[in-house]
Amino acid sequence: MAFQVYNFENNDDVKIVAQTGQFKVIQWDRDLSVSPDSAQTAYFCAKMDVRRRQLVADLDGSVGVTLQAGAMQWTVGSVRATTGVKGVGDLVGKMFRGAVSQDSAIKPEYTGVGKLVCEPTWNHILLLDTSQWGNSVVLNDGLFLACDSTLRHELQRRSNLSSAMAGNEGLFNLRIDGCGTIALEAPCPEQEVVYVDLDRDELKVDGNYALAWTSGLEFTVERSGKTLMGSAVSGEGLVNVYRGTGRVMLAPMQAATRCNTYAPAPTD
């Protein structure tokens, strides 16, 4: 490659916190782009590990990147962006997936040789290796950030219509199939993520805490008790149930509470 990038990944304030496949996550440990009015806020943010993070992909020409629309900050090298649409049928399918989920209908694909850098975000970026999820993983709405372009995007339907209506979370979730890496924009760091592996068992969750789960699990919304009276007495009401054999990734806070705004880019 003919380009060189200075004062980015080798900046004293930058640390690589995760790396899988062609993706890496960098973190800005100090925020020097502050004013006297915002310095106090920046100081306490750093103490609580509220920092800017960016997803970086080093493209070698073999595998591209599918990215959430609007997430790209800059590219360098021979990097080309396409819509990723492979025909009318593919366009209709992408539009439908976008309509029933919180993800963008058209996700651009970046191919070539070079570097792709995403917008900074205050959220945490988690990298998933699909081989640890049976090469088929279902994502909670709004968490998708990027993935290898060789991965296929499908819709996973709830086990029954009544469970979707009862849980008020929609009938479909985004499912990603194939062997590769997925980047999620999550409300919690990897250190706080809880993994539950099920072997012909069931997991009940009171709330929208699941970030991802293997597609082979049956996902329904059910009463916490066997009867309406039992559910009312327990105070729990409806719970999300994951049943079968597979893995569930849980966050300590609901995914809907995450910050959806991007952080301003460093100016130093």
| Backbone phi and psi for residue 12, each to the nearest 5 degrees, phi listed first | -60, -25
For the chain, the domains span 14-190
- Ranking 91-105, 109-123, 242-256 by mean pLDDT, the lowest is 91-105
pTM of this prediction? 0.82
Q: Residue 89: pLDDT band by 50, 70, 90 thresholds?
A: low
State yes or no: pLDDT of 4 exceeds 90: yes
State yes or no: pLDDT of 85 exceeds 80: no
* pLDDT value for 171: 73
Highest mean pLDDT: which of 23-27, 46-50, 253-257?
Answer: 23-27
Q: Residue 43: pLDDT band by 50, 70, 90 thresholds?
A: confident
Selected from 3.60.160, 3.40.190, 3.30.70, 3.30.1150, the CATH number assigned to the domain covering 14-190 reads 3.60.160
* Residue with more model confidence, 91 or 31: 31
Residue 205 CB partners (closer than 8 Å, separation 6+) = 239, 240, 241, 242, 248, 250
* pLDDT value for 238: 84
Report angle CA 157, 145, 25 to the nearest 5 degrees.
140
State yes or no: pLDDT of 91 exceeds 60: no
* pLDDT value for 230: 46
Mean pLDDT on 129-137: 96
State yes or no: pLDDT of 235 exceeds 50: no
Q: Residue 262: pLDDT band by 50, 70, 90 thresholds?
A: low
